[in-house]
Amino acid sequence: MTDVPTFESRIRDSFARQQAMVTIGASLSAVRKGEVEIVLPFAPKLTQQHGFIHGGVVAMIADSACGYAALTMMPADAAVLTIEFKLNLLSPAKGERLRALGRVVRPGRKLFVCLGEVFADNGGDTKQVALMTASMMVTETATGLKD
């Protein structure tokens, strides 16, 4: 019998409700305490004018990976809201797939700070293409604390 941690099923349920992730074809590849990984296969529909994956799409998977990494460490009845993120684009986002790894750098009662790294996997090669830092707010409802 497999024991899936409570936080993992919560994260998987929430991720399944992120229709934007379905739209781009992203999936959850790992959920650990304080760390979440999201995988996104390359698709032409995600590209910018030079044929690379759009920087905003890179931000989408990094933001979700960071937010869910924070949610793994929040109380069971909490919701997570992104306050802000910054993304440095290190190299063109091209390859067979992107992989965003979000990790909690600083947990808190009201505020989490996370680091997101996005890699491009191509054949056996892996190259980091982006770096994110993000602030996540703990809230009881989707809009509550922010207002």
The contacts of residue 58 (CB under 8 Å, 6+ apart) are 87, 89, 93, 98, 100, 118, 129, 130
With beta carbons less than 8 A apart as the criterion, state whether 119 and 96 touch. Answer: no
Least distance from C-beta 12 to a copy of itself, angstroms? Answer: 11
Query: Can residue 73 be called a binding residue for a copy of itself (CB under 8 A)?
Result: no
Nearer to a copy of itself, 33 or 86 (CB): 86
Report the C-alpha gap between 100 and 114 in whole angstroms.
Answer: 12
With beta carbons less than 8 A apart as the criterion, state whether 53 and 94 touch. Answer: yes
Query: Can residue 75 be called a binding residue for a copy of itself (CB under 8 A)?
Result: no
Least distance from C-beta 139 to a copy of itself, angstroms? Answer: 9
Query: Can residue 72 be called a binding residue for a copy of itself (CB under 8 A)?
Result: no
First to last CA, the chain: 44
27, 83, 96, 125: residue in contact with a copy of itself (rule CB under 8 A) = 83
Site for a copy of itself in 7-46 (CB under 8 A): 14-15, 17-20, 22-24, 44-46
Query: Can residue 104 be called a binding residue for a copy of itself (CB under 8 A)?
Result: no
DSSP 84: E
Site for a copy of itself in 122-141 (CB under 8 A): 128, 131, 133, 135, 137
Binding span for a copy of itself by CB under 8 A among 1-9, 29-37, 86-94, 118-126: 86-94
Query: Can residue 61 be called a binding residue for a copy of itself (CB under 8 A)?
Result: yes
- Structure token digits, residue 83: 């306050």
Q: Look at residue 48 and give its three-state secondary structure.
A: coil
